[in-house]
Amino acid sequence: MSREPRTAPRTAIATVCLSGALEDKLPAAAAAGFDGVEIFEPDLVASPMPPGEVRLRCADLGLSIDLYQPFRDLDSVDPERFAATLRRAEHKFGVMEALGTDTVLVCSSVAPDAVADVDLLAEQLHALAERAAARGLRIAYEALAWGRHVNTYDRSWAAVCRADHPALGLCLDSFHILSRGSDPAAIADIPGEKLFFLQLADAPHLSMDVLQWSRHHRLFPGQGAFDLPAFLEPVLRAGYAGPLSLEVFNDVFRQADPARAAVDAHRSLLALAEATAARGEGSDLITDPVAEPAPELRGHAFVELSADESLAPVLAALGFARTGLHRTKPVERWEQGGARILVNRSGGPAAVAALAVESADPLAAARRAARLSAPRLPRERGPAEADLAAVTAPDGTAVFFCRTGAETDWTGDFVPTEETAEKDGTGIGVTGIDHVGLAQPFDHFDEAALFYRTVLGLEPAATGEFAAPFGLVRSRAVADARRRVRLALTVSLLRRGEWAPGVSEPQYVALAVDDVLAAARAARAAGAPLLAIPDNYYADLDARLALSRERLAAYRDLGVLHEETAEGAYLQVCTEVLGGRVFLTLVQRVGDHDGYGWTDAPVRMAAHRRRRLARERVRA
């Protein structure tokens, strides 16, 4: 069925998505750029504002009220109970009239007396729709994934078809449909005028009770594993003309700053529209509201580390040369091969302060970032210094868009020294930055993954969880298609206790080498503080991989970690933690290995803690 091209879609968000009271949620949604809201009934019940005042407040904020929800357990095999439900519905219709909204969400029943017979269900839906139509209202019927008898969209559609009332249509919810494994393709055959409302949510693939999955693990589009562009396309092809609305709730979002969560939510809808517009057959259905694709990334321009005096000697031992001093700031430029690390000595804790990516079009990248509500980074700049476009990531890391080698680029901000990496002669052989590892604050992990995916145009590269010495750690990597820019994000699922002097939110820079054994030998000879790994690890490695005695001995001697898959191997040697939080690692990829060493992360974390305790005992 062909359709006229659409303009940029209207966006809406259910108030249940945001933390706080209704008076917190509405301004947050408006400030983030949403066009409308779904009013969640418990939010209204808890609000001191009467429905009419909520209507005026939304109008003042420029928000439409697109839906009132939810109306639960409509149908019943008990006639008296159904009659009581109709009386309850009349009261809700009055609330809707005061709110100024014409559509109510009716969920499929989960009650023990729910109707199994589709003809009786259709009769009861028709009766409700008659009452709604008499007041100029509409019923959007939704199949809950855990509904007693109606738990798939085809069953809800069958009931709506049999009820055959113009005031009765469907509400489609991506979570309820995709969590059941239903194929959304047939939605395209439903008449568009019967699709009254659309709710969108992402989620990770989990094997668990669907109700608990829904209550605790829904995410904004692009943060989970559902193919939402493939879901949205048949909905639009059917002729759906309403807003793209979010209904998302999980344990983190329920406690997050509503203003910040609303920005993240709106960004997710813009990215979903972009991804749907980019699909072959979907390109005529929706206009991409971002409008400017992410420019091609060509690598890491530099990583800036805030650090104390401990970092420079380690960089030198790893074969880096201090090739430049900033003209106006206490920042040094260190280089080797294609890797550039800036060391900021202005004070503060050791951390990855900034990432800079090589962009084919830095100005276009900055415009895209602004369209996606990425906060622009305010910078103090001298008169002769490069005007670099920069934004701030959710964890506070600065992200710069660069084009090194342009007529006026960031390298001109540095006064060259007489040092060069080529004359160093250490034989480390760093060729570039393989990736950067960033531990995220617990509340911002999903937000960070979406930020880097949408603003930089990166794609999911790997996900996982591992049992670290101090709790479970979740990991997610994002990268460009050619693997020239890679980021590895991690988060501790529960905050650590204070008993263990572990490394708080560790960060690292992985440096690519062609021969990790040769690089590690040269680094150790130059005095680099390489991390010692216990013999038990190598005994286990020998049992698993049957390496040659010579290689295993070299691994044990140098502290090499070896992760292997069918695609290849990932070899790494880590330094001790520098300045309390940051470490460096030499990385060799063998074959087509596309991982990040997460298999060995618990061993590395335990070794880092052991070394830290030893240093503290020496200081004591």
pLDDT in tens, 532-570: 999 999 999 999 998 999 999 999 999 999 999 999 999
CA dihedral 28, 30, 35, 37 (to 10 degrees): 40
pLDDT of residue 377: 83
pLDDT at 280: 65
Question: In which element (H, E) is residue 617 found?
Answer: helix 601-619
In the prediction, which pLDDT does 2 show?
Answer: 44
User: Residue 174: CB partners within 8 Å, gap ≥ 6?
Assistant: 199, 200, 201, 202, 226, 228, 231, 232
pLDDT above 80 for 296: yes
- 238: region left, alpha or beta (phi > 0 left; psi from -120 to 50 alpha): alpha
- The Cα 559–Cα 555 span in angstroms is 6
Pick 231 or 581 by higher pLDDT.
231
What is the dihedral angle through the alpha carbons of 328, 306, 444, 485, rounded to the nearest 10 degrees? 80
Give the pLDDT of residue 406: 82
Residue 497 predicted with pLDDT over 80? no
Q: Which 8-state DSSP code applies to residue 185?
A: G
Per-residue pLDDT at 619: 67
Are the CB atoms for 276 and 286 separated by under 8 Å? yes
Instruction: Point out the least confidently predicted range of 35-39, 129-133, 378-382, 450-454.
Output: 378-382
Rounded Cα distance, 11 and 242, in Å = 9
Digit-coded pLDDT (tens) for 204-225: 888 888 889 888 889 999 999 9
Annotated domain spans of the chain: 11-278, 297-619
Distance CA 418, CA 284 (A): 58
Rg, C-alpha atoms of the chain: 28
Residue 173 has pLDDT above 90, yes or no: yes
pLDDT digits (tens, 9 = 90+) for 312-370: 999 999 999 999 999 989 999 999 999 999 999 887 778 899 999 999 999 999 999 99
C-alpha dist (Å) from residue 573 to 141, 433, 470, 557: 57, 14, 22, 11
Residues 6 or more apart whose Cβ sits within 8 Å of residue 286: 6, 8, 9, 232, 236, 273, 276, 277
DSSP string, 242-306: S-EEE---BTTTTTS-HHHHHHHHHHHHHHHHHHHHHSTTTTTT---SS-SPPPPEEEEEEEEEE
Residue 285 binned pLDDT confidence (cut-offs 50, 70, 90): confident
Say if residue 494's pLDDT is above 70: no
Beta carbons within 10 angstroms of residue 94's beta carbon: 12
What is residue 9's predicted lDDT score, i.e. its pLDDT? 85
Is it the case that residue 24 has pLDDT exceeding 80? Answer: yes
**CATH of the domain spanning 11-278, picked from 3.30.1300.10, 3.20.20.150, 3.50.50.60, 3.40.50.1820:** 3.20.20.150
Tell me the sheet residues that pair with 64.
36
Is pTM beyond 0.85? Reply is: yes
Domain 297-619 CATH (choose: 2.40.160.50, 3.10.180.10, 1.10.760.10, 3.40.630.40): 3.10.180.10
Taking only the tens place, the pLDDT of each residue in 31-51 is 999 999 999 999 999 999 999
Angle 162-14-167 (CA atoms, 0-180°, nearest 5)?
Answer: 25
Strand-pair partners of 367: none
